[in-house]
Structure 1
């Protein structure tokens, strides 16, 4: 495979730091990109995905599907053949944390109920 055919990607994390850049074949899938991101995730980050299903990749404002290839997700950039494409990485919150936060809101609304009696 010619080196010119490879697509150079880097992945921007929630705090502005980057993973990469790495070169990928246009036939590489988004699922393969996610696996690499999880493997390369910095150990010093407070928020970290447990697996590839815990992250979403965003390119040009669109969430990328796991079955799509890099070639299909690539947005034409005109005459920039060697430009590095930046994709944003979003770590999905864990479901258990979301449920406990909802319970706290429900409990707080129950405690603020007024029980007045008119005589």
Structure 2
């Protein structure tokens, strides 16, 4: 991460915090709430960029890449916006079973039906 005066330390962006108050998976979907420009004037430019990006639903991992920040820093920024009600989070839903598991179930069902 670099700023106008050189490298910007992560603790500057997070106000000295190193851990997020919530556990968010990298697949967590973030979506902005509220009307345009509802963030307080005190919101950092990183908070503003994250909030504007999340006008379209975006995963935490995608947001980190777009911001060019580590996932840990992006998580803390997202938690700030979640706490203030400017973001909502959504679970991407259950992961579908892999093909091998489905084939095992199919073979198991076929063997029970043929008995």
State TM-score, norm by structure 1.
0.30
State TM-score, norm by structure 2.
0.30
| Higher helix residue share | 2
- Higher-Rg structure is 1
| Higher strand residue share | 1
